[in-house]
Amino acid sequence: MPLAPAITDIEQLKDRPFVADLLSWRADAVESVRFDRNELTIYIARESIREACSRLKAQGLTDFMSDLTCADFYPREPRFELAYHLLSMKRKERVRLKVRLSGDEPSVESIISVWPSVNFFEREIFDLFGIRFLGHPYLRRIMMPEDWEGHPLRKDYPVEGYR
């Protein structure tokens, strides 16, 4: 099965329930869409991510928060991309919401009020990438020791540590 080219045209994807709902809710919050390898990705404006998650939950389009993680595209700017993997158990479908963050004091609103399960995931990203989640009640390091310096999963942090 050769790879089909990715679809990035919003016109072709606007009939998909997740895209349609977010567009009808606030079209300006949807930055771009991408359908690649059978997976739907929606880029959301940084300020709207909590409301977008809350909207999808309230509409019954997603009923489970699978995973939250980050990738560092250093030296590109905006440097970080957060990936929110949401699942609809009812409709047996996944969607990925993404948020782009710049490398200069990156921060984003916490979605812990919508999905309490992101607690550890947001702490992990804070610890390993140094992204602040505003509104998280207990944003502390989770993997590394409290007094650790730096954020190990950033690309400018060496694999074998500083020498």
Both tokens of 161, joined, read 């540590």
Name the residue nearer to another protein (CB basis): 26 or 67.
67
Span from 1-9, 13-21, 23-31, 48-56 in contact with another protein (CB under 8 A): 1-9
Please report how close the Cβ of residue 72 comes to another protein at its closest, in angstroms. Answer: 7
**What is the maximum span of the chain, computed from C-alpha positions, in angstroms?**
53
Cβ 75 to another protein shortest distance, Å: 13
What is the distance between the alpha carbons of residues 98 and 45, in angstroms, rounded to a whole number?
Answer: 9
Q: Which stretch binds another protein (CB under 8 A): 12-20, 23-31, 43-51, 62-70?
A: 62-70
- Binding piece for another protein, criterion CB under 8 A, among 10-18, 24-32, 48-56, 64-72: 64-72
Where residue 107 falls (left for φ over 0; alpha for ψ -120 to 50; beta otherwise) is beta
Q: Are strands 80-88 and 30-36 parallel, antiparallel or unpaired?
A: unpaired
**Least distance (Å) from another protein to the CB of residue 35?**
11
Helix (H) or strand (E) holding 101: strand 93-101
